[in-house]
Chain A
Amino acid sequence: MTFISNLISGISLGSVYAIIALGYTMVYGIAKMLNFAHGDVIMVGAYVAFCSMAYLNLPPIVAIVIAMIACTLLGIIIEGLAYRPLRKASSLAVLITAIGVSYFLQNAALLIWGSTPKTFSSVVGFDSISLLDGKLIITAESIVTVIACIIIMIGLTLFTKKTRIGKGMRAVSEDKDAAELMGINVNVTISITFAIGSALAAIAGVLLCSAYPILIPTTGSMPGIKAFTAAVFGGIGSIPGAMLGGILLGIIEIFSKSYISTELSDAIVFAVLILVLLIKPTGLLGKKITEKV
C-alpha cells in the first residue's frame, strides 16, 4: 500500500513541477531564453493568494484568480522592462538579467512580507479520501493538483493547436523573422507567452503551498530549479515533454525519499537526469538538432 500512496504523492508533486515546467518550456520555445525568475513568480503568486485569503478574507477561488492576475501583470512587466530590450543580445546576457530579476523579486518579497515563514492554509475545501479501511489515504490536495494539471495540459495543447494566437506562438518559435513577415506581431506574442506562463506559475504556487504550507521569499527557487530540470528532462520546448518530465521527476523524488534516503533524494533526481541526457541528449521528447557548418 505504501507503494501506491507513494506513487500518488509522487504524481501529485510531479504535477506541480509539470505546471511550472510548462511555463519554462513555453517561454524557452518562443523567446529562446531560460527564465530563471520563473521560480520567483511562483513565490509571488503564493504570497498574493496568501494575503488575499488571510488579510482580505476572500474565498480561495477568488484568491487564486487575484494571484493569477497579479502574476500575469508581473510577467508582462518583467518581459517588457527587462527582457524585451535584450531580444537580440547574447543568450548569456539575457540569462544574467533573468538572474537579476530573480534576486529583485526575492528581495522585494523579503522587504514586503518579511523573513518569518507564513503558514499557508490549503485552498482545497474538501477532506482527504480514505480507501481500503484507511490503509490508503489520498489527500484532497493531490487530487486537485493532478486534475488541475491535466486540465491545463489539455487546455494548452488545444490553445496552441487551434487558436489564432496559439498558431502565432508556434510560428514565432519556428522562425521569428518569417513569422513577422506573415503579419504576426512578435512582441505581442512573446508577451502573451509570458502572461500565460506566469498565470500558470501562480496556480503552481498556490498548489505547491497547499501541499507544503511554509511560505518564505525563497520558496520558489528550489521548485523552480527542479521544474527547469523537468523541462529539460522531457525535452525543452515541448509541452507534452514538460508534462512527462515533471511527473517522472516528482515520482523519482518521492520514491528515492521513501526508499533510499531523504537527504540524497535531490542527488538521485539529478543523477537520473544526467543518465537520461547521456542516452538521449535532447531530453525524452526533444527534437533532434541537426548541425550545419
Chain B
Amino acid sequence: MSKIGNKIKNLNKFTLTNIKAYSIVIIAFIILFPLNSRGMISNSMSGLLVPICTYIVMAISLNLTVGFLGELSLGHAGFMSVGAFVGVIAASCFQDIIVSDVLRLIVSIIFGGFFAGIAGFIIGIPVLRLRGDYLAIVTLAFGEIIKNIINCLYVGIDAAGLHMGMTSIEALGMTNGRIIINGPQGAVGITKLSSFTAGVILILFTLFVVLNLVNSKTGRAVTAIRDNAIAAESVGIGITRYKLTAFIVSAVLAGMAGALYAMNFSSIVAKKFDFNTSILILVFVVLGGMGNIVGSIIATAVLYILPELLREFSDYRMLIYAIVLILVMLITNSEKTKQIKEQILLKLSRNKNKQRQEE
C-alpha cells in the first residue's frame, strides 16, 4: 500500500486535479444514471439533468476565458445561442440523410461548435484589443447583438434546400417546406435527441480539451499573459495568438453545449440566451473559484439545483437564492473573514509546532 501512496504523492499537481475532475463526473454519472433510468428521481429533477450538463460545460469553458485568460466575458450565452440554433438547423437538415439519432446528435453538436467557433473568431479579433471593463462591455454588446439577430431570423427547409431570411416566413418563398426557426418564436418542432449520457460525454470531452490545453505550452502562455501581459510579450509570447486560441476554444465548447441544450427541448427562443444567462454562468465560475475546474463543476451543479430545492419556499425562493449569493460572496471575500481564517490557520500551525516539539 505504501508504494501506491508514494506513487500518488509523486504524481504532479495537474494529474491529481485531472483525476479529481474526471472521477467526480464519472461517479456522479454512475450514481445518477441507474436512479434516473428506474425513475427514482422526481420528474422535475430528471428534467434538470441535461441542462445541468450543458451549464457545467458552459462554466468550464467560461472558466477558460475568465479564470485562465483573465478576461471578463459577459456574452458567453451568445456563443451558446449560435451553437443551439446552428445545431437545430443541422439536425433538421440531416433528418433524412442520417438515420441514427446518436450520429445526428454528434454531427449537430459539431456543427454548433464549429459555427460558435467562427463567431468567437470574429468577435475575438476586436474584443481582445481592449482591456478590463471595456472588454467586458463589448462581449456584453456582442451577446446582445447575436440575440437580436437570431430573434429576427427565419429559416426553413424544403426540397430545394435551406432558405434564410430576416423579414418573415412567407418571404422565404418555400413550397411545402418545414419551418426551422420562426423569428421571435424561435426554433420550433425540434426532435429531442439529447440525453443525460450525451451530456456526461460532452462534459468529459470538455474536461479533456480544457485540462490538456491548460497544462500544455499554450496553456502556460495563456496564464503568463493573464499574470503580466507585457512581461509575457517581452519573452516572446505572441499575445493576440494565444488569447485568440483560448477565446475560440471557449466559444467552440459553448457552442457544443448550446446544441446539446437546444436538442433537449421541443422549442427554444433566442431570448433564452440573454445577458442574464451569461451572468448566471459567470456566477457559477466565480463561486466555483476562478481557474478551478472542479470548483466550476460543483458550483454549477449545486447552484442549478438550489432553486429547485428551494421550491417549498415557493415565491420566496429566488429571493433566498439572491441572499445566499450575496452572503457567500461576503463570507468568502470580505476582509474580516480573511482575518478570522488567518487566525485559525495560525493557531493550527502553532499547535502542530507544539506537537512536534513534544515529540
Q: Choose one: B138, B184, B322, B335; the contact of A85 (CB below 8 Å).
A: B335
Q: Are A107 and B322 in contact (CB under 8 A)?
A: yes
A270 contacts which of B129, B131, B145, B287 (Cβ < 8 Å)? B145
Task: Using CB atoms and an 8 Å cutoff, list the residues of chain A in contact with chain B.
Answer: 28, 34, 82, 85-90, 92-93, 95-97, 99-101, 103-104, 107-108, 110-111, 225, 228-229, 232, 236, 261, 263-264, 266-267, 270-271, 273-274, 277-278, 281-283, 289, 291, 293
B contact residues around A104 at 8 Å (CB): 319, 322-323, 326
Bound CA–CA A278/B326 (angstroms): 35
Give B95 Cβ to nearest chain A Cβ, in Å: 29
Question: Provided the pairs A111-B315, A277-B130 are in contact, do residues A100 and B329 lie with their beta carbons within 8 angstroms?
Answer: yes
B290 within 8 A of A: yes
Tell me the complex Cα distance, A69–B130, Å. Answer: 39
Given A93-B329, A274-B141, 18 other A-B residues pairs in contact with their CB atoms under 8 A: A28-B133, A92-B286, A96-B329, A104-B319, A111-B319, A225-B275, A232-B137, A264-B149, A266-B145, A266-B148, A267-B149, A270-B140, A270-B141, A270-B142, A273-B137, A274-B126, A277-B130, A278-B126
28 contacts between A and B (CB under 8 A): A34-B133, A82-B326, A85-B333, A86-B329, A89-B334, A92-B66, A93-B286, A93-B329, A97-B329, A99-B279, A99-B325, A100-B326, A100-B329, A103-B325, A107-B319, A108-B319, A110-B315, A225-B275, A228-B137, A261-B152, A266-B145, A266-B148, A267-B144, A273-B137, A274-B138, A274-B142, A278-B126, A293-B228
Is B346 engaged at the interface, CB distance under 8 Å to the other chain? Answer: no
**Contact status A103-B141, CB under 8 Å:** no
Query: Contact at A107–B318, with CB atoms within 8 Å?
Result: yes
> Of the candidates A97, A111, A291, which one forms a contact with B330 in the assembled complex, judged by CB atoms under 8 Å apart?
A97
| B140 closest partner in A (C-beta) | A225
- B336 close to A (CB within 8 Å): yes
Report if A264-B334 is in contact (Cβ < 8 Å); known contacts: A103-B321, A273-B138.
no
Judging by beta carbons under 8 Å apart, are B138 and A277 in contact? yes
Q: Report the Cα distance A87→B338, complex, angstroms.
A: 13
Distance (whole angstroms) from the CB of A203 to the closest CB of chain B = 24
Query: Closest CB of chain A to B292's CB: distance in Å?
Result: 13
**A99 / chain B contacts, CB cutoff of 8 Å:** 279, 282-283, 325
CA distance A87 to B332 in the complex (A): 13
A92 near B290 with CB under 8 A, answer: yes
A286 to B326 Cα, complex, angstroms: 31
* B144 and A266 contacting across the interface, CB-CB below 8 Å: yes
A111 and B148 within 8 A (CB): no
* Smallest CB gap from A222: residue in B: B275
Task: Closest A residue to B324 by CB, please name it.
Answer: A100
- Give the shortest distance, in Å, between A176 (CB) and chain B (any CB): 15
Question: Does B230 interact with chain A (Cβ within 8 Å)?
Answer: yes
| Residue among B134, B137, B283 with most chain A CB within 10 A | B137
Main secondary structure of the interface of A (DSSP, over half): helix
Q: Which B residues lie within 8 Å of A110 (CB)?
A: 315, 318
B76 → A minimal CB distance (Å): 14
Chain B residue total in the interface (Cβ 8 A)? 47
> Lowest 7 CB-CB distances: which A-B pairs, in order?
A270-B141, A267-B148, A104-B322, A103-B322, A85-B334, A100-B325, A89-B333
> Is residue B72 contacting chain A, with contact meaning CB distance below 8 A?
yes
Select B141's contact among A87, A100, A229, beta carbons within 8 Å.
A229
Q: In the complex, are the beta carbons of B129 and A281 less than 8 A apart? A: yes
Contact among A96, A232, A271 with B134 in the assembled complex (CB-CB below 8 Å): A232
Q: Which residues of B contact A270 (CB under 8 A)?
A: 140-142, 144-145
Q: How far is the CB of A28 from chain B (nearest CB, A)?
A: 8
Residues in B neighbouring A95, C-beta threshold 8 A: 72, 286
Q: Scan B301-345; emit 1 where CB is below 8 A from any A CB, else 0.
A: 000000000000001101101110110011011111000000000
Q: Could you tell me the distance in whole angstroms from the C-beta of B288 to the nearest C-beta in chain A? A: 11
In the bound complex, CA of A274 to CA of B138 (Å):
6
Contacts of A92 in B (CB 8 A): 66, 72, 286, 290
A108 nearest CB neighbor, chain B only: B319
Q: Which residues from chain B contact A34 at a C-beta distance below 8 Å?
A: 133, 136
**Residues of B close to A232: CB separation below 8 A:** 133-134, 137
Contacts of B316 in A (CB 8 A): 111
- Are the C-beta atoms of B151 and A263 separated by less than 8 Å? yes
Q: Is B231 an interface residue (CB 8 A)?
A: yes
Which A residues touch B333, using CB under 8 A?
A: 85-86, 89-90, 93
Task: Pick the most buried of A96, A108, A225: most chain B CB atoms within 10 A of its CB.
Answer: A96
Residues of B within 8 A of A225 (CB): 140, 144, 275
Check B144 against A86 for contact (C-beta < 8 Å).
no
Whose C-beta in chain A lies nearest to the C-beta of B145? Answer: A267
Bound CA–CA A261/B149 (angstroms)? 11
Instruction: Using known A-B contacts A274-B141, A291-B230, A293-B231, determine if residue A263 contacts B326 with beta carbons closer than 8 Å.
Output: no
Which A residues touch B323, using CB under 8 A? 100, 104
B315: chain A residues within 8 A (beta carbon) = 110-111
Report how far A281 CA is from B148 CA in the complex, Å: 24
Question: By CB atoms of chain A within 10 A, which of B148, B152, B275, B329 has the most?
Answer: B329
The interface residues of chain A lying within 8 Å CB-to-CB of B228 are 293
B152 in contact with A263 (CB, 8 Å): yes
A93 to B285, CA, bound (A): 11
Q: Which residues in B have their C-beta under 8 angstroms from that of A82?
A: 326, 330
Residues on A with C-beta less than 8 A from B325 are 96-97, 99-100, 103
